[in-house]
Amino acid sequence: MERTLIIAKPDAIQRGLVGEIVKRFEQKGLKLIGLKMIQLDDVKLDGHYAEHIDKPFYADLAEYMKSSPVVVMAWEGYECINSVRIIVGSTNPRQADAGTIRGDFAIGQGRNLVHASDGKESGEREVAHFFGADELMTYDKSEYMHVYNQDER
Ligand code: IDP
Ligand code: MG
Protein backbone atom coordinates (compact mmCIF):
# COMPACT_ATOMS: atom_id res chain seq x y z
CA MET A 1 0.00 0.00 0.00
CA GLU A 2 1.28 3.48 -0.88
CA ARG A 3 0.66 6.64 1.12
CA THR A 4 0.15 10.11 -0.29
CA LEU A 5 -0.05 13.54 1.28
CA ILE A 6 -2.86 15.74 0.04
CA ILE A 7 -3.11 19.41 0.97
CA ALA A 8 -6.31 21.35 0.34
CA LYS A 9 -4.57 24.69 -0.26
CA PRO A 10 -5.82 28.12 0.89
CA ASP A 11 -7.84 28.64 -2.31
CA ALA A 12 -9.72 25.40 -1.59
CA ILE A 13 -10.53 26.64 1.92
CA GLN A 14 -11.57 30.09 0.70
CA ARG A 15 -13.70 28.74 -2.14
CA GLY A 16 -15.43 26.09 -0.04
CA LEU A 17 -14.03 23.16 -2.03
CA VAL A 18 -12.61 21.04 0.79
CA GLY A 19 -15.62 18.70 0.75
CA GLU A 20 -15.42 18.33 -3.04
CA ILE A 21 -11.73 17.44 -2.80
CA VAL A 22 -12.24 14.90 -0.02
CA LYS A 23 -15.14 13.41 -1.97
CA ARG A 24 -12.98 12.70 -5.02
CA PHE A 25 -10.62 10.48 -3.04
CA GLU A 26 -13.38 8.86 -0.99
CA GLN A 27 -15.35 7.91 -4.07
CA LYS A 28 -12.23 6.38 -5.64
CA GLY A 29 -12.11 3.96 -2.70
CA LEU A 30 -8.94 5.24 -1.05
CA LYS A 31 -8.50 5.00 2.70
CA LEU A 32 -8.27 8.21 4.76
CA ILE A 33 -5.71 7.63 7.53
CA GLY A 34 -5.06 11.20 8.75
CA LEU A 35 -6.71 14.64 8.49
CA LYS A 36 -6.24 17.99 10.22
CA MET A 37 -6.45 21.74 9.67
CA ILE A 38 -3.24 23.69 10.24
CA GLN A 39 -1.72 27.11 9.63
CA LEU A 40 1.55 26.72 7.72
CA ASP A 41 4.62 28.65 8.85
CA ASP A 42 7.94 29.17 7.05
CA VAL A 43 9.66 26.21 8.69
CA LYS A 44 6.90 23.74 7.85
CA LEU A 45 6.42 25.08 4.34
CA ASP A 46 10.12 25.30 3.42
CA GLY A 47 10.57 21.71 4.59
CA HIS A 48 7.67 20.56 2.48
CA TYR A 49 8.65 22.48 -0.66
CA ALA A 50 12.46 22.18 -0.28
CA GLU A 51 12.85 21.28 -3.98
CA HIS A 52 11.18 24.57 -5.01
CA ILE A 53 12.81 27.07 -2.63
CA ASP A 54 15.18 28.46 -5.29
CA LYS A 55 12.53 28.69 -8.01
CA PRO A 56 11.39 32.17 -9.17
CA PHE A 57 7.79 31.49 -8.14
CA TYR A 58 8.60 30.40 -4.59
CA ALA A 59 8.02 33.76 -2.88
CA ASP A 60 4.50 33.92 -4.37
CA LEU A 61 3.88 30.25 -3.60
CA ALA A 62 4.95 30.68 0.03
CA GLU A 63 2.84 33.80 0.56
CA TYR A 64 -0.17 32.06 -0.93
CA MET A 65 0.29 28.82 1.03
CA LYS A 66 0.40 30.81 4.31
CA SER A 67 -2.52 33.11 3.42
CA SER A 68 -5.07 31.01 5.30
CA PRO A 69 -5.16 27.63 7.05
CA VAL A 70 -4.93 24.47 4.96
CA VAL A 71 -6.34 20.98 5.41
CA VAL A 72 -3.70 18.23 5.28
CA MET A 73 -4.69 14.64 4.66
CA ALA A 74 -2.94 11.29 4.45
CA TRP A 75 -4.52 8.72 2.14
CA GLU A 76 -3.56 5.10 1.58
CA GLY A 77 -4.23 2.70 -1.28
CA TYR A 78 -2.74 0.26 -3.77
CA GLU A 79 -0.62 2.32 -6.22
CA CYS A 80 -2.48 5.39 -4.98
CA ILE A 81 0.30 7.90 -5.79
CA ASN A 82 -0.40 7.59 -9.50
CA SER A 83 -4.19 7.36 -9.09
CA VAL A 84 -4.23 10.51 -7.00
CA ARG A 85 -2.08 12.51 -9.43
CA ILE A 86 -4.54 11.56 -12.18
CA ILE A 87 -7.51 12.66 -10.05
CA VAL A 88 -5.73 15.96 -9.20
CA GLY A 89 -4.72 16.80 -12.80
CA SER A 90 -1.82 18.74 -14.34
CA THR A 91 0.00 21.44 -12.36
CA ASN A 92 -1.26 24.08 -14.80
CA PRO A 93 -5.06 23.90 -14.41
CA ARG A 94 -5.55 25.29 -17.91
CA GLN A 95 -3.89 22.15 -19.26
CA ALA A 96 -5.61 19.81 -16.81
CA ASP A 97 -8.17 17.35 -18.16
CA ALA A 98 -11.85 17.94 -17.48
CA GLY A 99 -12.93 15.60 -14.72
CA THR A 100 -9.81 16.28 -12.64
CA ILE A 101 -9.94 18.57 -9.60
CA ARG A 102 -7.70 21.20 -11.20
CA GLY A 103 -9.37 20.82 -14.62
CA ASP A 104 -12.84 21.25 -13.17
CA PHE A 105 -12.26 24.00 -10.58
CA ALA A 106 -9.04 25.98 -11.16
CA ILE A 107 -7.46 28.39 -13.66
CA GLY A 108 -4.27 29.94 -12.23
CA GLN A 109 -1.12 27.80 -11.99
CA GLY A 110 -0.40 29.27 -8.59
CA ARG A 111 -4.02 28.68 -7.50
CA ASN A 112 -4.41 25.01 -8.30
CA LEU A 113 -6.29 24.02 -5.12
CA VAL A 114 -4.45 20.90 -4.09
CA HIS A 115 -1.04 19.37 -3.41
CA ALA A 116 -0.44 15.67 -4.01
CA SER A 117 2.77 13.69 -3.48
CA ASP A 118 4.56 12.81 -6.73
CA GLY A 119 6.23 9.49 -5.81
CA LYS A 120 6.30 6.63 -3.35
CA GLU A 121 9.29 8.02 -1.47
CA SER A 122 7.95 11.60 -1.38
CA GLY A 123 4.57 10.26 -0.22
CA GLU A 124 6.16 8.59 2.82
CA ARG A 125 8.37 11.61 3.53
CA GLU A 126 5.58 14.17 3.19
CA VAL A 127 3.11 12.20 5.32
CA ALA A 128 5.80 11.95 8.05
CA HIS A 129 6.51 15.69 7.71
CA PHE A 130 2.92 16.58 8.63
CA PHE A 131 1.69 13.70 10.79
CA GLY A 132 3.05 12.12 13.94
CA ALA A 133 2.67 8.35 14.24
CA ASP A 134 -0.11 8.89 16.79
CA GLU A 135 -2.09 10.96 14.23
CA LEU A 136 -2.18 8.22 11.59
CA MET A 137 -5.03 5.75 12.01
CA THR A 138 -4.81 2.00 11.54
CA TYR A 139 -8.13 0.34 10.80
CA ASP A 140 -9.83 -2.10 8.46
CA LYS A 141 -11.90 -0.63 5.66
CA SER A 142 -14.87 -2.91 5.23
CA GLU A 143 -15.36 -2.17 1.53
CA TYR A 144 -11.83 -3.28 0.53
CA MET A 145 -13.06 -6.68 -0.71
CA HIS A 146 -15.31 -4.80 -3.15
CA VAL A 147 -12.66 -2.27 -4.23
CA TYR A 148 -9.56 -4.47 -4.72
CA ASN A 149 -8.69 -7.83 -6.20
CA GLN A 150 -7.46 -10.20 -3.51
CA ASP A 151 -3.78 -9.81 -4.52
CA GLU A 152 -4.01 -6.00 -4.33
CA ARG A 153 -5.31 -5.67 -0.79
P1 IDP B 1 2.51 19.92 -8.41
O2 IDP B 1 1.78 20.62 -7.30
O3 IDP B 1 1.62 19.57 -9.57
O4 IDP B 1 3.33 18.74 -7.94
P5 IDP B 1 5.05 21.38 -8.63
O6 IDP B 1 5.84 21.52 -9.88
O7 IDP B 1 5.58 20.44 -7.57
O8 IDP B 1 3.55 20.98 -9.02
O9 IDP B 1 4.90 22.84 -8.01
C10 IDP B 1 4.42 23.02 -6.70
C11 IDP B 1 3.41 24.13 -6.69
O12 IDP B 1 4.06 25.37 -6.99
C13 IDP B 1 2.30 24.00 -7.74
O14 IDP B 1 1.24 23.17 -7.34
C15 IDP B 1 1.86 25.45 -7.88
O16 IDP B 1 0.99 25.83 -6.81
C17 IDP B 1 3.16 26.20 -7.72
N18 IDP B 1 3.78 26.49 -9.01
C19 IDP B 1 4.46 25.63 -9.80
N20 IDP B 1 4.91 26.23 -10.90
C21 IDP B 1 4.49 27.50 -10.83
C22 IDP B 1 4.64 28.64 -11.69
O23 IDP B 1 5.26 28.59 -12.75
N24 IDP B 1 4.06 29.80 -11.25
C25 IDP B 1 3.37 29.89 -10.07
N26 IDP B 1 3.22 28.85 -9.23
C27 IDP B 1 3.77 27.67 -9.61
MG1 MG C 1 5.01 18.67 -6.70
Q: What angle do CA 56, 38, 65 make, to 5 degrees?
A: 15
pTM (global) more than 0.85 = yes
Q: Would you please indicate which residues are annotated as catalytic (active-site) residues?
A: 115
Q: Which CATH class is domain 2-39+69-141?
A: alpha beta
Nearest CA to ligand 1 atom 15: 110
- CA atoms of 1 and 12, how far apart (whole Å): 27
Q: What is the pLDDT of residues 79-132, one digit of tens each?
A: 999 999 999 999 999 999 999 999 999 999 999 999 999 999 999 999 999 999
From 126, 134, 133, 135, select the one nearest 45 (Cα to Cα): 126
Residue 2 has pLDDT above 90, yes or no: yes
The Å distance, Cα 121 to ligand 2 centre, comes to 13
Quick check: CB of 58 below 6 Å from ligand 1?
no
What is the pLDDT at residue 47? Answer: 98
The answer, yes or no, to whether any atom of ligand 1 lies below 6 A from the CB of 31, is no
**Residue ranges with CB less than 5 Å from ion ligand 2:** 118
| Per-residue model confidence as pLDDT tens digits over 15-62 | 999 999 999 999 999 999 999 999 999 999 999 999 999 999 999 999
Q: pLDDT (tens digit, 9 = 90+) per residue, 64-78?
A: 999 999 999 999 999
The answer to whether 6 and 81 are in contact (CB under 8 A) is no
Task: Please give the share of the chain, as a percent, with pLDDT higher than 90.
Answer: 97
**C-alpha triplet 83, 124, 145: angle, nearest 5°:** 50
| Nearest ligand 1 atom to alpha carbon 9 | 16
**Ligand 1 contact via 95 beta carbon (within 6 Å):** no
What is the structure's pLDDT at 153?
Answer: 86
Contact 75, 110 (CB under 8 A): no
Amino acid (one-letter) located at 69: P
Mean pLDDT taken over the chain: 97
Residue 22, CA distances (Å) to 7, 75, 77 in order:
10, 10, 15
| pLDDT value of residue 32 | 98
Total residues belonging to the chain: 153
